[in-house]
Chain A
Amino acid sequence: MKALSLEFYKFRRRRIFLIITIFLLIEILWMGIVTGKSVSRNPDYAIWELPIITLCSMNGLFLPILTAICVSRIADMEHKGNTWKMLLSLSVKPAELYRAKYISASIIMLWVCVLQMLSIIIVGILNDFKQPIPLHLLSQFLIGTALTNMVIIGLQQWISMAIKNQAFALTLGMIGGFIGMTADLLPQQVGRLFVWSYYAKLSPIAQSFTNERMNFMVRDINSLLPMMGVLIVLVVGIYLAGSIHVSRQEV
């Protein structure tokens, strides 16, 4: 807990929350414009499914890069300040430091998910959606996005801490964004091999096109549980592999 609070203390002047929030606002603005235009063209689209699926598809591109930025900033302050040796000589275990950084990045990215959930509600209210706020769909969206984020944070933190040159970590974020955005174009068996595609795969809404019209279907949470199980295993596996590798590395 002390290590975690020290992490927040260290980046208190780095405005990570503010920067991440500003970047996120661009995505939210885009989602709001897409929803508003679709509703004004066809009032039948004034349903909660539309902003949820729009955000889920955009998350495939946006969140891997946002995660890379967030994690890189948290890890890079130690590389830049050359403080790894100092921290480790203060009898802080490397694994403890790794855990504190992982949790602080997860908290920031959870803030992103909560903000996205709130933005869906605001967009729905502004576009005068008649149905009540679907809390079950929103919580399903929150769980799916947060879980995918946690796997990606694990990957990014591993690279960001193991390799001093942050260009590689940011490039991984870029590759993730590319795969996250295009995974739906690939055959399902191939697409599911990439963790970045799970923002869309764990979306509580599925969409299909018939006669140039978008149709939305609510996915049953039970059908998503096996995928969530796989992601939980990946979270643990990638975290442990990264923690062990970085802890054994010479600083």
Chain B
Amino acid sequence: MLTRCISVELMKLRRSRIWLILMILPIISVLIGSVNFYLNQGVLKYEWYSLWSQVSLFYGEFFLPILIAICCGYMWRLEHFNKNWNMIMAAPISAVWIFLSKLMVAGLLLIFVQGLLFLLYFLGGTLMGLSSKLPRELPGWLLRGWIAAITISALQLALSMRIRSYATTVGIGLCASFIGLGMYIANLGLFFPHSMMVVGMGVISQKSISPGDMIIFFIMNIIYIVAISTFAIRWIKKSDVIA
């Protein structure tokens, strides 16, 4: 049933041109990051590491969470229109699959975004003639960024399901990014979804994350995903919908 729900979700997005929206952020991040790196090579001496700091800084800190908010909001917006809530609730599908299929589709879209970021980062560095090897931490940054992105997706999906106004959920995403940055500065980065993105992607500090922190990172993400999904699924089961 889950695979059928996922294919239905993908079908709903088929003509939405959402891929266009997903592509824009990695392109702008790498473009502006690379230009800045190129113009300041006197100061930014650590080749791929410096390029990553320029490319990922604003991407991971503020804009990937906003992009996630836009995508998740769009996925629920389809249900808020045309009495689709009534249809979805009348269909013989469990609430668990409804929410999880949306979360998994969001995860798939984010693999595309992270993959594109990697490709463009590699291309940008190669075109600028960076001779050293790619950072060995790079797969970890991308993977942990993706995991934190799924946690944020769960949160945004729950919000977008509850709040009918599309733009409001994007605004909440923006404010949560600021709160996440504050949590990171207060050394509580491993306890809030948006700051886990900053820690996981090596956005501010490119040092390797310690094994202890890595365990906390994964445990916190699992706790958030399970807790938010449980709450959202419970809400679908218990509350009446407004179609």
Chain A interface residues (CB < 8 Å from chain B): 14, 19, 23, 26-27, 30, 33, 61-62, 65-66, 68-70, 72-73, 76, 80, 165-168, 170-171, 173-175, 177-179, 181-182, 185-187
A73 contacts B165, C-beta separation under 8 Å: yes
Whether A178 lies near B32 (C-beta < 8 A) is: yes
- A69 and B28 contact, CB distance less than 8 A: no
**Docked-complex contact A19 and B32, CB < 8 angstroms:** no
Q: In the complex, how many angstroms separate the beta carbon of B106 from the nearest chain A beta carbon?
A: 14
Q: Which of B18, B21, B35, B71 contacts A186 (CB 8 A)?
A: B35
By the criterion CB–CB under 8 Å, are B24 and A171 in contact? Answer: yes
Complex Cα gap A65–B179 (Å):
16
Q: Kindly provide the distance from the CB of B209 to the nearest chain A CB, expressed in whole angstroms.
A: 26
State the CA gap A61–B179 with chains docked (Å).
15
User: Are A182 and B175 closer than 8 Å at their CB atoms?
Assistant: no
A33–B183 alpha-carbon span in the complex (Å):
13
Q: Looking at the complex, which one of A26, A165, A171 makes contact with B16 (CB distance below 8 Å)?
A: A165
A170, B167: Cβ atoms under 8 Å?
A: yes
Known contacts A26-B179, A65-B171, A69-B170; decide if A174 and B66 are in contact (CB<8 Å).
yes
User: What are the residues of chain B within 8 A of A170 when measuring CB–CB?
Assistant: 70, 73, 166-167, 170
Chain A residue with minimal CB distance to B69? A170
The 8 closest A-B pairs by CB, nearest first: A69-B167, A72-B167, A26-B175, A185-B36, A23-B171, A167-B74, A69-B171, A171-B21
Cross-chain contact B36 with A182 (CB below 8 angstroms):
yes
Complex interface: chain B residues within 8 A of A186 (CB): 32, 35-36
B173 CB to nearest chain A CB (Å): 9
A167 touches B70 (CB 8 A): yes
Q: Knowing A167-B18, A167-B21, A187-B39 touch, does A65 contact B32 (C-beta < 8 A)?
A: no
Complex contact B62–A171 (CB within 8 A): no
**A14 — nearest CB in chain B belongs to which residue?**
B165
> Which residues of the other chain, A, contact B32 by a CB distance below 8 angstroms?
178-179, 182, 185-186
Determine whether the beta carbon of A177 is less than 8 Å from that of B62. Answer: yes
What secondary structure prevails in chain B residues at the interface with A?
helix
B174 at the interface (CB under 8 A from A): yes
**B21–chain A nearest beta-carbon distance, Å:** 5
Tell whether A61 pairs with B62 under 8 Å between CB atoms, given A26-B179, A182-B36, A186-B35: yes
Binary interface encoding of chain B residues 160-199 relative to chain A, with 1 for a CB under 8 A from any of its CBs, else 0 = 0000011110110011001100100000000000000000
**10 A-B interface contacts by CB (under 8 A):** A23-B175, A62-B174, A65-B170, A69-B170, A70-B167, A76-B166, A167-B18, A174-B70, A179-B28, A182-B32
Question: For B174, what are the chain A residues with a Cβ–Cβ distance below 8 Å?
Answer: 23, 62, 65-66
Q: Assess the B70–A27 pair: CB atoms within 8 A.
A: no
Is B25 part of the contact surface with A, judged by Cβ < 8 Å? yes
- Given A26-B179, A182-B58, the answer on whether A177 and B21 have CB atoms closer than 8 Å is no
**In the bound complex, what is the Cα–Cα distance between A33 and B185 (angstroms)?**
12
A73 and B167 in contact (CB under 8 A), knowing A30-B182, A178-B63, A182-B36? Answer: yes
Contacts of B71 in A (CB 8 A): 167
Measured CB to CB, the closest approach of chain A to B198, in angstroms, equals 15
Residues in B neighbouring A19, C-beta threshold 8 A: 168, 171
- Kindly supply a per-residue 1/0 record for chain B positions 60-85, scoring 1 wherever the CB is within 8 Å of any chain A CB and 0 otherwise: 00110011001101100100010000
Residue of B63, B166, B167, B174 ringed by the most chain A CB atoms within 10 A: B167
Chain A contacts for B175, CB-based, 8 A: 23, 26
